[in-house]
């Protein structure tokens, strides 16, 4: 029952839409020629195999190809201004470059592919925009922004005298939309230790403060700062470290007085027992009120060398000579 009503409904709807169309579109809609033919003809349609030409069929519009222009380099004069042809970096364009280039690998004997339709030539970066005349032109244009070299800084010695601190940092160029690189923040500060003025205590303390940042072979102190996010901050921090270490090295703390002979970094004859003993031997039998004899400078140096450098044949030989000299014993 339900299906029947549905069927009826559909028929009704169809008839109503047909009626509507008839009502509203009678004046506007003209039935097409083909449909008219179909409806009017009572007979079967004839399939005409011979009829090659059908006049009523609309001709397909033929796309008229415009002839491509000949390559530009054929039209260019031999004294053409090349910087005008190739002003900036650009992918290789065979029609503009008047060079018989070839690139590509072929089997033995065959010529490499020519410059036309050669994707390999389009891939590789070219420097056709950086010909010597182009560079000369750009230098001429930049000249007006240049300033003369400062007087008094002609040689490396003069730079080093006036600017003892060397600051190094790296800029990075990317082929990316970003201009930032986290490695650009790193700042390296170099200074020769001989450019700083120290006394003995301050130098000792400074070297202890900087630790392995000082290279004793070259005498150069290197401070690397990379803990801050910006280069400026790192530069400031490196300069702060240098200043703080320098001034701190001149401060003598109360606990530094407790430094005993065992804490010394090197052996000094002046403050050791061997000096007292040697003087005691020399001055043996001399009355106390008379002027005391001093140990010779050579002996002091030899003893220092023997203990600081270690025992070797040369040091021991020298020590023997100095001892004999000190005791006025002739070596037979």
Partner 1 sequence: MSLLKKCVQQLLENTNLCSQTIAATAAAFHTSPVCNRVQAGRYRVTTKRNRALTYEMANPPHYIAHRKAWNSWNTSSMLDGLRPSQTAIEDVFMRKFMTGTWHALIVSEVIIKRQHNMIRIAAIMRQAISPRKMYFLIGYTEELLSYWLQCPVTLELQTVADKKDVVFKYI
Q: Say whether residue 130 binds partner 1 (CB under 8 A).
A: no
In this complex, which beta carbon is closest to partner 1, that of residue 22 or of residue 123?
Answer: 123
Q: Interface with partner 1 by CB under 8 A: which range of 22-30, 84-92, 266-274, 324-332?
A: 84-92
Where do we find the tokens 């089997």? 107
The window from 7-15, 34-42, 85-93, 132-140 that contacts partner 1 (CB under 8 A) reads 85-93
- Does the footprint of partner 1 cover residue 229 (CB under 8 A)? no
Task: Pick from 76, 82, 120, 196 the residue near partner 1 by CB under 8 A.
Answer: 120
b/e sequence 35-60, b meaning 16+ C-beta within 10 Å:
eeeeeeeeeeeeeeeeeeeeeeeeee
Among 4, 52, 176, 290, binds partner 1 (CB under 8 A): 176
Element (H, E) at 187: strand 187-192
When asked if residue 122 is in the footprint of partner 1 (CB under 8 A), the reply is: yes
The CA distance from 277 to 327, in Å, is: 13
Distance of CA 276 to the CA centre of its chain: 62
- Considering the rule CB under 8 A, would residue 99 count as an interface residue with partner 1? no
* Least distance to partner 1, CB of residue 93, Å: 7
CB of 77 to partner 1, least distance (A): 24
Q: Which of 118, 169, 222, 283 binds partner 1 (CB under 8 A)?
A: 118
Dist CA 249 CA 251 (whole Å)? 6
59-78 residues in contact with partner 1 (CB under 8 A) are 63, 65-66, 68
Give dist(CA 48, CA 57) in Å, integer: 15
Ramachandran region of residue 328, left (φ > 0), alpha (ψ -120 to 50) or beta?
left
What single-letter DSSP state applies at residue 175? S
Question: Interface with partner 1 includes 113 (CB under 8 A)?
Answer: yes
């Amino acid at each position: 029952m339900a299906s029947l009503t549905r069927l009826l409904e559909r028929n009704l709807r169809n008839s109503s839409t047909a009626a509507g169309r008839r009502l509203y579109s009678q004046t506007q809609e003209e039935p097409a020629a083909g449909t008219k033919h179909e409806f009017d003809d009572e007979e079967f349609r004839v399939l005409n195999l011979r009829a090659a030409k059908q006049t009523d069929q609309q001709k397909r519009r033929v796309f008229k190809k415009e002839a491509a222009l000949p390559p530009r380099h054929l039209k260019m004069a031999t004294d053409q201004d090349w910087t005008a042809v190739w002003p900036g970096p650009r992918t290789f364009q065979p029609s503009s470059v008047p060079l018989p280039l070839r690139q590509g690998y072929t089997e033995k004997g065959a010529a490499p592919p020519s410059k036309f339709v050669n994707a390999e030539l389009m891939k590789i970066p070219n420097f056709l925009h950086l010909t010597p005349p182009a560079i000369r032109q750009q230098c001429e244009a930049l000249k007006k922004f240049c300033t003369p070299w400062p007087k008094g800084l002609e040689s490396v010695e003069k730079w080093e005298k006036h600017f003892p601190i060397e600051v190094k940092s790296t800029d990075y160029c990317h082929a990316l939309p970003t201009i930032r690189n986290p490695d650009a923040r790193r700042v390296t500060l170099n200074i020769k230790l001989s450019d700083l003025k120290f006394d003995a205590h301050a130098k000792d303390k400074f070297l202890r403060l900087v630790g392995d940042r000082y290279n004793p072979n070259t005498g150069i102190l290197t401070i690397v700062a990379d803990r801050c996010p910006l280069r400026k901050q790192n530069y400031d921090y490196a300069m702060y470290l240098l200043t703080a270490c320098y001034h701190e090295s001149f401060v003598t703390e109360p606990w530094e007085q407790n430094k005993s002979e065992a804490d010394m970094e090197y052996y000094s004859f002046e403050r050791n027992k061997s000096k007292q003993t040697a003087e005691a031997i020399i001055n043996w039998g001399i009355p106390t009120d008379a002027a005391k004899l001093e140990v010779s400078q050579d002996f002091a140096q030899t003893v220092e060398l023997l203990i600081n450098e270690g025992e070797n044949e040369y040091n021991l030989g020298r020590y023997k000579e100095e001892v004999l000299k000190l005791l006025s014993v002739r070596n037979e």
